[in-house]
Structure 1
Amino acid sequence: MRATSTDHTLTALGSDGVHLSVSELVRYQQFTRLLDLTPQRMPQARLSGGYLTRHKGRGMEFDEARHYQPGDDIRAIDWRVTARTGKTHTKIYREERERPVFILCDLSTSMQFGTQLLTKAVQAAHVTALVSWAAASRGDKVGALLFAGQQHRECKPLSRKRAVLAICHELITLQGFSLNQQSDEQSQAEGFTDVCARARRLARPGSLVYLISDFHHLTANAQQHISQLARHCEVNAVTITDPMEHALPDTGITQSVNVTDGSNLQTWLLGDKKEQQQYRQWRAQHNQRLTDFFARAKVSQNHVSAGASLDEQLAELRRRPL
Structure 2
Amino acid sequence: MRDRAARTRSGLAAQSSKPPSVDDPRVQVSLEQLRAFEGRARALRFLPSQPAASVFNGRHASRLRGRGLNFEELRNYLPGDDPRTIDWKVTARTGKPHVRIYSEERDRPALIIVDQRMSMFFGTRHAMKSVTAAEIAALAAFRILDQGDRVGGIVFGDDFAAEIKPKATARARDQFLSAIARANQMLRADAPVVGTPTPLNIPLETAAKIARRNHLILVISDFDGIDEKTGSLVGRLAKTNDLVLCPVTDPISQEIPAGLKLVVSDGNLQIELDTASGETHRSLSEYASGRLSEVLSWQKTYGLPVLPLSCGEDTVPQLRRLTGLAPNRKRGRQ
* Fold similarity call, TM over 0.5: yes
Q: Which structure exhibits the higher relative contact order, with contacts defined as CA atoms closer than 8 Å and separated by 6 or more residues? A: 2
Larger relative strand fraction: 1
Contact 2:247 2:292 in 1 (8 A): no
Alpha carbons of structure 1 residues 65 and 269: separation in structure 2 relative to 1, 3 Å: same
Q: Which residue of 2 aligns with 1:58?
A: 73
Query: 1:274: how far off?
Result: 6.6
Q: Which residue of 1 aligns with 2:303?
A: 298
Structure 2: gaps (5+ residues): 1-12, 17-22, 49-62, 75-80, 326-334
Query: 1:271: how far off?
Result: 5.1
Q: Which residue of 1 aligns with 2:47?
A: 38
Q: Which amino acid aligns with 2:146?
A: S
Q: Which amino acid aligns with 1:17?
A: R
For residues 11-60 of structure 1, the C-alpha deviation after alignment (integer angstroms, 9 at most, x for no partner) is xxx952222212211122112233221134435xxxxxxx453x64339x
Of 78, 90, 99, the match for 1:69 = 90
Q: Which residue of 1 aligns with 2:163?
A: 154
Give the alignment's Cα RMSD to 1 decimal. Answer: 3.3
Alpha carbons of structure 1 residues 105 and 264: separation in structure 2 relative to 1, 3 Å: farther
Aligned equivalents of 1:271, 1:177: Cα separation in 2: 34
1:222 and 2:230 matched: yes
Q: Which residue of 1 aligns with 2:144?
A: 135
1:183 and 2:194 matched: yes
Which secondary structure state, in structure 2, belongs to the residue aligned with residue 129 of structure 1?
helix
Larger relative helix fraction: 1
1:245 and 2:253 matched: yes
TM-score (norm 2): 0.74
1:207 and 2:215 matched: yes
Aligned equivalents of 2:260, 2:240: Cα separation in 1: 51
Seq. identity, % = 20
Structure 1: gaps (5+ residues): 8-13, 44-50, 75-86
Contact 2:44 2:320 in 1 (8 A): no
Q: Which residue of 2 aligns with 1:279?
A: 284
Q: Which residue of 2 aligns with 1:110?
A: 119
- Matched positions, count: 284
Aligned equivalents of 1:302, 1:255: Cα separation in 2: 29
Query: 1:100: how far off?
Result: 1.1
Q: Which residue of 2 aligns with 1:47?
A: none
1:265 and 2:270 matched: yes
| Greater Rg over alpha carbons, structure | 1
Query: 1:226: how far off?
Result: 2.1
TM-score (norm 1): 0.76
Q: Which residue of 2 aligns with 1:10?
A: none
Which secondary structure state, in structure 2, belongs to the residue aligned with residue 211 of structure 1?
strand
Which secondary structure state, in structure 2, belongs to the residue aligned with residue 194 of structure 1?
helix
Contact 1:155 1:166 in 2 (8 A): yes
